Structure 1
Amino acid sequence: MVDDKSFRDVLGRWVTGVAVITTVWKDQVHGMTDNAVMSVSLKPPLILISIDEKASMLAKVRAANNFAVSILSSEQKALSQHFAGQRQSKETVDFDGFMGWPVIKNALAYIACKVHDARQAGDHVLFLGEVEHLWARSGRPLIFYQGRYHALQDMEDKK
């Protein structure tokens, strides 16, 4: 039997990027931190995000039928913590508009999607997003490894 602690410990050795998923619901921007973002297909261009079935963001993405992904830079750890509920501050977040979608200002990349499909998978719902727009800039990504944030120090910016 696999226990929760061992599962997290082993899979924590997989390095991931850090992103904030955003959508608009009832005329308000909502967001959550997600490190389970991956490319799925080139034709059509599809990505996958994963949302816990207990997360308030789940109903919002379902209702809006779209979402944006902001891939965070190494300078945006505080924003990741904010959208993960790890910071109890009342600070407001200023969003940029990207092709009609709300995104995190100064992120490394933006991906705007309409929901292509959604599937229950254990205690999460997996959303396939059909990519409608994307954009990227150079910079260093915020990464997550063994339950902690890190930044790549030896990476040269290209692009």
Structure 2
Amino acid sequence: MDDQLFRTAMSKFATGVTVIVAEQDGKPHGMTANAFMSVSLDPKLILISVDERARMLPIIEASQKFTVNVLRQEQKQMSMRFAGQIPSEEPFTFDRFEGEPVIQQSLVSLVCNVHNTYVEGDHTLFIGNVTNLRIENGNPLAFYEGGYRTVQA
């Protein structure tokens, strides 16, 4: 099978949209990602997948911490900004939770320490140990067949 056929098949799986944030030298960096999942309840573990070419990869490796911010439907522009689809000259102002940078008004913000790392194919899988979280009400931003969607409760 070719790469495009595989990519098309994977686009048939609807996902939420997250922004992963990690700090380097006191400066937060964000990356839009939909490769995120829950792994374990005891201990509380999640997984994110980061492309080997992503600028975020060495930042997470060095800091050994990251946050996962599940976006609400009103945050599509934010997703596009951190995906590099909308250029922005202005610095982004992050909120702080447990001392770590998070996206304001996200549906969920998870603070994680890197628990384990696996290199698989052209991505690095980070297993994060969730040390704290906060939850807001709202509807999620979704991604399906290469486009943004909304989900109504």
TM class by smaller structure? over 0.9
Residue 100 of structure 1 corresponds to 99
1:115 aligns with 2:114: yes
Q: Deviations over 1:17-59 (max 9, x none)?
A: 0000001111100010010110000111000000000001000
1:7 aligns with 2:45: no
* Equivalent-residue separation in structure 2 for 1:89 and 1:46 (angstroms): 33
Residue 49 of structure 2 corresponds to 50
Q: Is the 8 A contact 2:112 2:129 kept in 1?
A: yes
* Equivalent-residue separation in structure 1 for 2:75 and 2:17 (angstroms): 9
Residue 130 of structure 2 corresponds to 131
Q: CA deviation at 1:91?
A: 2.9
Q: Which moved more, 1:112-121 or 1:87-96?
A: 87-96
Moved segments of 4+, more than 4 Å:
none
Q: How does 1:19-34 map to 2 (within 5 A)?
A: 19-34=18-33
Q: CA deviation at 1:92?
A: 2.4
% identity of equivalent residues: 47
- Alpha carbon RMSD of aligned pairs, Å? 0.8
* Equivalent-residue separation in structure 1 for 2:100 and 2:62 (angstroms): 15
Q: Deviations over 1:1-20 (max 9, x none)?
A: x2111111111010000000
* Equivalent-residue separation in structure 1 for 2:55 and 2:93 (angstroms): 20
* Equivalent-residue separation in structure 2 for 1:47 and 1:89 (angstroms): 30
* Equivalent-residue separation in structure 2 for 1:28 and 1:97 (angstroms): 12
Aligned residue identity for 1:75: E
Q: CA deviation at 1:77?
A: 0.5
Q: CA deviation at 1:89?
A: 2.4
Which consecutive residues of structure 1, in runs of 5 or more, have no partner in the other structure? none
1:90 aligns with 2:89: yes
Query: How many matched pairs?
Result: 153
TM-score using structure 1 length: 0.94
* Equivalent-residue separation in structure 2 for 1:91 and 1:51 (angstroms): 25
Residue 41 of structure 1 corresponds to 40
